[in-house]
Amino acid sequence: MAKKNELQNINFPLLVSVILIVVIGILMIYSTGFDPIDKLNNGLYKKQMVWFGIGFVLMMTVALINYRLMGDYSLYIYIGILFILVLTTIFGTPVRSARAWINFGFFSIQPSEFMKLGYIILMAKFLEIRERDIQNFRELMIPSLITIIPVFIIYMQPDFGTAMIFIPIFFTMLFLGGADVSQIGSIISIAAIGLLLPMILTYTEWVGQGNEDLNPIISFFKGSDLLFIIAGALLMIAIVAFVLHFFFIKKIYRKIYIPSMVFSMGLFLSVFIQHFLKDYQKKRILVFLNPTLDPHGSGYNVIQSKIAIGSGGFIGKGFLHGTQSQLGFLPEKTTDFIFSVVAEEWGLLGSTILIALFAVIIFKGIQIAFEASDKFGMLLASGITTMFFFHMIINIGMTLGIMPVTGLPLTFVSYGGSNLVMSLIAVGILLNIHMRKTIR
């Protein structure tokens, strides 16, 4: 239990910003729940208020339990949540074809949200323990595994957006945990090559539909044989170079085997993704790059979101007066596109204030990481901050049309109990680390 002087050390700017953002969120959920024709509210805002109450209590509770204890139990927390996640993925109630929720009748919980937190705690703990060995490439095996397991399970639900949020958190935590930049760079390169190639193919195939000239090129690559041969050849070169390096230890061999290994892995991954990623998922990424490709699908959402934001102007259309959201032109307005509602009803002024509040949270998080009394605290605080940050940029970026449509909630604002409660617990941890910064 925390001592009295620890509670006095509570980080008020952080706490107040969080409360303000949640209140803005509830107001917006009230606004979006209002039907201007039937003059009725769907009452979702009340549910969100209940979740806020629960989350607030949990936040304060978590703030008072020493976070180091979490470090000690991090593996159990991780495995426990993972277990529930697997059960949900197998037995969960499908909502919009995704088995991501456990239904308790009057409310339901999304374990994948809590998985994020469990994952960050375990990663922080692991990186603390392996602080000195993390530069070694083999040490990356375990954090990769810790990442890939939940990503894969959540992807199978399927919840593409939530699965993908682990990736930037993973790399950022590795980076902050002291991993070798060239190693991280290699992994990112592999992923980039692996992703980019199928994208280009899908694009050519989709846009060039009916274009006879492109058909031979598409079938040439689609057969995957060629990519496989190239990847195999590069792998052989890499192995030979590696063996040579093993015997003669010359820098030149290292310069050969690392890039060829990276390319080879990237190509293998691209062949894998070509078969693994569903067509609509590939298209979704393409539509982000060029929304006019699909003005009725996810491109429609972005166009309507930009209309909502742009038509808000400087001071906005006023609370409850956003036509794009009130009249239903803006899709997913209570969850994914709630930022657009803020920008429409409260204009540049309101949306800038909201972003400023987020900035307070993130910079306070960074400050807490700086001042943390131990490496675990630093990594945990920076991991949580990273999570907040990436949720924010992916969500707001999506509504602004500068990020792909992924279906991630805007932390603290979007309607949804699990995300709110998880995020408040995460804030509790930040407060916790802050309160114990003086203990060395």
* Contact footprint for other proteins (CB under 8 A): 36-37, 131-132, 172, 175-176, 178, 304, 306-314, 323-324, 326-329, 343, 347-348, 351-352, 355, 359, 362-363, 366, 369-370, 375, 378, 382, 386, 389, 393, 396-397, 400-402
- Provide the total of helices (H) and of strands (E) in the chain, helices listed first: 18, 5
What minimum distance in Å lies between the beta carbon of 176 and other proteins?
Answer: 5
Instruction: For residue 279, count CB atoms less than 10 angstroms from its CB and return exposed for 0-12, middle for 13-18, buried for 19 or more.
Output: exposed
d(CA 60, CA 361) in angstroms, rounded, equals 17
Residue type for position 44: L
For the bound state, the minimum distance from the C-beta of residue 343 to other proteins, rounded and expressed in Å, comes to 7
Smallest gap from Cβ 117 to other proteins, in A, equals 19
Least distance (Å) from other proteins to the CB of residue 213?
32
Least distance (Å) from other proteins to the CB of residue 432? 19
Cβ proximity to other proteins, 202 vs 301, nearer residue: 301
Which residue, 40 or 359, is less far from other proteins as judged by CB? Answer: 359
β-pair partners for 40: 35
CB-nearer residue toward other proteins: 208 or 328: 328
Nearer to other proteins, 39 or 251 (CB): 39
* Shorter beta-carbon distance to other proteins: residue 131 or 294: 131
Work out the burial of residue 280: count CB atoms within 10 Å of its CB; fewer than 13 is exposed, 13-18 middle, 19 or more buried.
exposed
Least distance from other proteins to the Cβ atom of residue 382, Å: 7
C-beta closer to other proteins: residue 153 or 369: 369
98 Cβ contact list (under 8 Å, min separation 6): 157, 158, 159
Distance, in Å, from the CA atom of 320 to the CA atom of 38, rounded to the nearest integer, reads 14
CA distance 48 to 26: 7
Tell me how many degrees the CA angle 289-290-293 measures, rounded to the nearest 5: 135
> How do beta strands 93-95 and 40-41 pair?
unpaired
User: How many residues would you count in the chain?
Assistant: 440
Nearest distance from C-beta of residue 31 to other proteins, angstroms: 15
Name which of 340 and 423 has its Cβ closer to other proteins. 340
CA quadruple 151, 153, 154, 159: dihedral, nearest 10: 110
Q: Which is nearer to other proteins, 304 or 419 (CB)?
A: 304
Closer Cβ to other proteins, 229 or 356, answer by number: 356
The CB-of-330 to other proteins minimum distance in angstroms stands at: 9
> What secondary structure does DSSP assign to 25-76, as a single string?
HHHHHHHHTEETTTTEE--HHHHHHHHHHHHHHHHHHHHHS-HHHHHHTHHH
Residue of 47, 57, 12, 55 whose CA lies nearest to 26: 47
Least distance to other proteins, CB of residue 342, Å? 11
DSSP string, 257-297: HHHHHHHHHHHHHHHHHHHHS-HHHHHHHHHHH-GGG-TTT
Q: How far is the CB of 97 from other proteins (least distance, A)?
A: 20
Instruction: Tally Cβ neighbours within 10 Å of residue 228.
Output: 13
Contact yes or no for 85/112 (Cβ under 8 A):
yes
Distance of closest approach, residue 289 Cβ to other proteins, in angstroms: 16
Judged by beta carbon, residue 259 or residue 310, the one nearer other proteins is: 310
342-378 CB burial, b ≥16 within 10 A, e <16: bbbbbbeebbeebeebbebbbebbebbbeebebbbbb
Q: Is the CB of 266 or the CB of 299 nearer to other proteins?
A: 299
Alpha helices (H) along 110-224: 111-129, 141-156, 160-176, 181-207, 215-222
CA-to-CA separations, 371 to 8, 49, 174, 366, 377, in angstroms, rounded: 17, 33, 19, 9, 9
